[in-house]
Amino acid sequence: EDKVVQSPLSLVVHEGDTVTLNCSYEVTNFRSLLWYKQEKKAPTFLFMLTSSGIEKKSGRLSSILDKKELFSILNITATQTGDSAIYLCAVSVRGSEKLVFGKGTKLTVNP
């Protein structure tokens, strides 16, 4: 059974801290790994990763994939209160049009 596990499930930090969110997966035929941010309603796309070792960056957010260890991390530096959200990791499986989601990490950034 395809599985995506995120950790931690919940995290509380202060503004300015750096956080690392983890995502591990076990799937039959990996195509890509995606990170989404969900603040209130609709998840919004952050990154898609397909190759190991290539870091994707967008401002203070960055992500990298390790296909050997079946693992990805999402880093957020100099956190702001606006980073407070649920961060979802999902894996796309080749031969299927489904995304398999983890349970998400709820990040709270306090001023």
Partner 1 sequence: DGGITQSPKYLFRKEGQNVTLSCEQNLNHDAMYWYRQDPGQGLRLIYYSQIVNDFQKGDIAEGYSVSREKKESFPLTVTSAQKNPTAFYLCASSMYGRAPNTGELFFGEGSRLTVL
Judged by the rule CB under 8 A, the positions of this chain that interact with partner 1 are: 6, 9, 31-32, 34, 41-45, 48, 88, 90, 92, 97-99, 101-104
Phi-psi region of 84 (alpha: psi -120 to 50; beta: other; left: phi over 0): beta
Q: Are the C-beta atoms of residues 69 and 3 closer than 8 Å to each other?
A: no
Q: How far is the CB of 28 from partner 1 (least distance, A)?
A: 14
Give the residue with the Cβ less far from partner 1, 57 or 98.
98
Q: How far is the CB of 64 from partner 1 (least distance, A)?
A: 17
Residue type, 88: L
Strands 30-38 and 85-93: antiparallel
Q: How far is the CB of 16 from partner 1 (least distance, A)?
A: 28
